[in-house]
């Protein structure tokens, strides 16, 4: 990219209209471009030094749950884009305690140019977004994980030349599956998920995904058999069986007998399948060392892509003019 064009981009700032990212289908019309944009900047060494679309902006990240990938990827990503990352732990705030979420949103909007929120209840981020005057990004809630889905789609697209078959999900019907199904539907990828009986994904979210899939020409299927889901799959994806905040559900683990992603199970997939996991992994529970450490595993590429995908999202939501200009100049 010519240096003059980059300097022109630096003068652009802010969006005329606020947009939020609470679920991956909030950006369904741009998801393909968001992914391609992230892949391009990941491989654009010149832009990594000169492109600072968040220059002069501050991005605050609220964490109700501990985090490794989310916190580091947002802090480093915002910094690389020229912005100032501010991390706010739940112990630092009065959020929902002595100060309402609405009031917190109003106050933070006076200081920040964007808010990311990693929370337990999805209704809390809906409330925050409703009362914020700056973009709000869902960094994880109990219903949705759009940043993870953007990174997942990026990882699959990067490896599209070796993916021969559908995306298979094996495990809990959780927030990661929700946005994975939506993301696959948006990009026209077939997905088949296997969950234990009684732990299926939210039916309303699956209906949303199916409506999108009808337009994109992809399929979404659910079952209760891990073997059925992974047979001839091009991607096998799993997650922890018991999520953070569910540790009190003592009997939940027993529901996942037969759902471990191991060498016997992956033998039913395409030979060049991708193994994906949003991490952290509980080795020996949902996946064996032999699978997660195999040549088919892309889990660390997937983790890195959290940063690149979020950089694309942050630029789009905070400085769309710069995002569009960089996209047009590619």
Q: In the chain, where are the structural domains located?
A: 3-145+305-328, 160-297
Q: Please give the positions annotated as active site.
A: 118, 145, 148, 239, 278, 306
What's residue 187's pLDDT? 98
Residue with tokens 């450490």: 293
CATH class, 3-145+305-328 region: alpha beta
What's residue 4's pLDDT? 38
Residue 24 sits at φ, ψ, to 5 deg, of -65, -25
| Residue 15 to residue 316: CA distance in whole angstroms | 9
**Over its length of 330 residues, how does the chain's per-residue pLDDT go in tens digits?**
444 355 555 445 567 789 999 999 999 999 999 999 999 999 998 888 889 999 999 999 999 988 899 999 999 999 999 999 999 998 888 787 789 999 999 999 999 999 999 999 999 999 999 999 999 999 999 999 999 999 999 999 999 999 999 999 999 999 999 999 999 999 999 999 999 999 999 999 999 999 999 999 999 999 999 999 999 999 999 999 987 666 666 688 999 999 999 999 999 999 999 999 999 999 999 999 999 999 999 999 999 999 999 999 999 999 999 999 998 886
Q: 116, 132, 6: which is closest to 60 by C-alpha?
A: 116
| Residue 87 to residue 72: CA distance in whole angstroms | 10
Q: 131, 98, 134, 137: which is closest to 118 by C-alpha?
A: 137
- Taking the whole predicted model, whether its pTM rises above 0.85 is answered as yes
| Residue 37 to residue 137: CA distance in whole angstroms | 18
β partners of residue 169 = 193, 237
What's residue 48's pLDDT? 80
Instruction: Count other C-beta atoms under 10 Å from residue 206's C-beta.
Output: 21
| Residue 204 to residue 306: CA distance in whole angstroms | 26
On the question of a common fold for 3-145+305-328 and 160-297, the answer reads yes
The CATH topology of domain 160-297 is Rossmann fold (3.40.50)
User: In the β-sheet with 84-89, what is the strand arrangement from edge to edge?
Assistant: 84-89, 58-63, 114-118, 136-140
């Amino acid at each position: 990219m010519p240096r003059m064009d980059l300097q022109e981009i630096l003068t652009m700032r802010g969006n005329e209209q606020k947009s939020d990212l609470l679920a991956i289908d909030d950006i369904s019309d741009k998801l393909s471009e968001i992914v391609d944009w992230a892949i391009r900047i990941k491989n654009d060494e010149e832009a990594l030094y000169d492109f600072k679309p968040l220059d002069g902006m501050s991005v605050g990240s609220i964490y109700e749950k501990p985090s490794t990938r989310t916190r580091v990827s947002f802090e480093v990503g915002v910094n690389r884009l020229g912005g100032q990352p501010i991390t706010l732990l739940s112990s630092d705030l009065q959020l929902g305690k002595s100060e309402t979420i609405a009031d917190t949103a109003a106050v933070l909007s006076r200081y920040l140019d964007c808010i990311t929120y990693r929370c337990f209840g999805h209704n809390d981020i809906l409330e925050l977004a409703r009362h914020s005057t700056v973009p709000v990004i869902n960094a994880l809630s109990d219903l949705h994980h759009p940043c993870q889905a953007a990174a997942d789609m990026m990882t699959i697209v990067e490896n599209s030349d070796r993916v021969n078959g559908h995306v298979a999900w094996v495990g809990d019907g959780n927030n990661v599956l929700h946005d994975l199904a939506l993301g696959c539907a948006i990009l026209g990828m077939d997905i088949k998920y296997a969950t234990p009986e009684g732990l299926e994904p939210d039916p309303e979210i699956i209906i949303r995904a199916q409506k999108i899939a009808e337009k994109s020409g992809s399929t979404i299927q659910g079952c209760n058999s891990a073997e059925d889901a992974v047979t001839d799959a091009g991607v096998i994806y799993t997650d922890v069986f018991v999520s953070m905040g569910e540790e009190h559900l003592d009997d939940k683990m027993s529901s996942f007998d037969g759902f471990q992603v191991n060498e016997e199970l992956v033998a039913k997939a395409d030979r060049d399948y991708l193994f994906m996991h949003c991490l952290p992994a509980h080795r020996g529970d949902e996946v064996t060392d032999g699978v997660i450490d195999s040549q088919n595993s892309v889990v660390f590429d997937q983790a890195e892509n959290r940063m690149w995908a979020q950089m694309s999202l942050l630029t789009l939501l905070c400085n769309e003019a710069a995002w569009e200009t960089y996209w047009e100049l590619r």
